Amino acid sequence: MKIVDMKSAIIGSNVCLRIVTDKGIDGYSQVENFKEYIAVNNDYYKQQIIGCDPTDVEDVMRRIRRLGAFKPWGKYVSSIEMALWDIAGKEAGVPVYKLLGGKVRDKVRVYCTRYPGLKMPNEDPGNKGLEAEARAENILAIHEQAGFSIIKSPVAYHSPLFRSKAEDVTAGFTYNSYPMVPKCQYPENFNGSMLTTKGLDYLINYVRTIREKVGPDIGIAFDCGPGLMAPDALKFAKGVEDCNVMWLEDLVSGDYTPYNLAQVYRDITWNTTTNIHTGEQVYLRQNYREMIEGQCVNVIGPDPADVGGLAELKWITEYANLHGILMAPHGVFDGIFGMAALTQVSCTLPNNYIAYEYPKGDPDWWYDIVKGLPENFFKDGFVKVWDAPGIGVEFDIPKAEKYLGPEDKDFFM
């Protein structure tokens, strides 16, 4: 079997990949939402893999692995890897998890960051975020309506509400104000500003209020940045130690920062009992080595669509397990194909696995243009592992074609 083409198409807000073979077996994958600019790389990577046997996944990846980088620049390489596994599983007639060593669990726990379509109380129409009491109500509503046992909330510089307060010099949350960069989706997140006592107390009380109102039966996690200075991050973590949060994520570096600052995380992690988490932006195992060997965090969260794919994620998880570090993979914007791929790899992982970040089909019409998902595959905070060959989901081509733009009309041809 040989690769004869690789095509990309924007469907909704996702770039989708199709690897075409001379045997009529196609592999599909999905790039994280809102990365349309990534599609221009398709011809470049295609030329590197044309003529390769797609079932020799590692041989293909040796050709392109060095040609990626930290989020978002490793996404194409990572998505190619997942499409290759899709082909390999279909060719062998088995689900991908069989090729990754076999499953150790029949259902996989997932956690919630965002879940479009849920009716939640106290939504802020101004998109400035939610105060703690309202967010606690929303957590309870998500748990009641969708069954998630772990729910993650934005806080500190990851929260639009906090950023608006930090930008307002009269609010007194920071000693320096860094206004939002116009038309920039990913600004500097106010890096470099020490929090005032008022700002730090706000963060601690935010977490404490949510824990008190939500109660002990729902795991709560917090995406915190990046952007905090190390002393503030440590004070924050120590200030919520008795809240037993699942983790504080990306306190210092993280989302869209092309480095780890492992030594900074180490000094925070070693001086608090609160679980510290980072890693969604990291590309390849080599860039996790210092973080893992130095036990610089308690939880890591690589995204298979950023880190280099499914095999890379599994290797990192097993290496982390040897060092007593937990695993909670990122993936909120990876779409239905990403969800299927995450399920395939997560069911094979050792016991340091906690849960993966659940990517719901968004918009809901995504569920109409794919086939292969079993009935009630998601229930009570778990995804049931199913046994279709490959990653376990396919496009319903006649339905999916309706969502192709004029420039992508040949995607399924």
What value does the CA radius of gyration of the chain take, rounded to a whole number of Å?
A: 21
Give the model confidence (pLDDT) of 248-279 as tens digits: 999 999 999 999 999 999 999 999 999 999 99
Convert the pLDDT of each residue in 109-137 to its tens digit: 999 998 888 777 776 655 567 899 999 99
pLDDT, residue 232, reads: 97
Domains and CATH numbers, the chain: 3-94+398-408 (3.30.390.10), 98-387 (3.20.20.120)
The pLDDT assigned to 109 comes to 98
Average pLDDT in the 183-210 region?
Answer: 82
pLDDT score recorded for residue 168: 83
pLDDT reading at 235 higher than 70: yes
CA–CA separation, 41 vs 337, rounded Å?
20
Residue 105 has pLDDT above 60, yes or no: yes
Per-residue pLDDT reduced to its tens digit, 18-76: 999 999 999 999 999 989 999 999 999 999 999 999 999 999 999 999 999 999 999 99
Find tokens 């060997």 and name the residue.
293
Tokens of 378: 């998601």
- What gap in Å lies between CA 413 and CA 410, rounded to an integer? 5
Task: Tell me the C-alpha distance between 26 and 412, whole Å.
Answer: 10
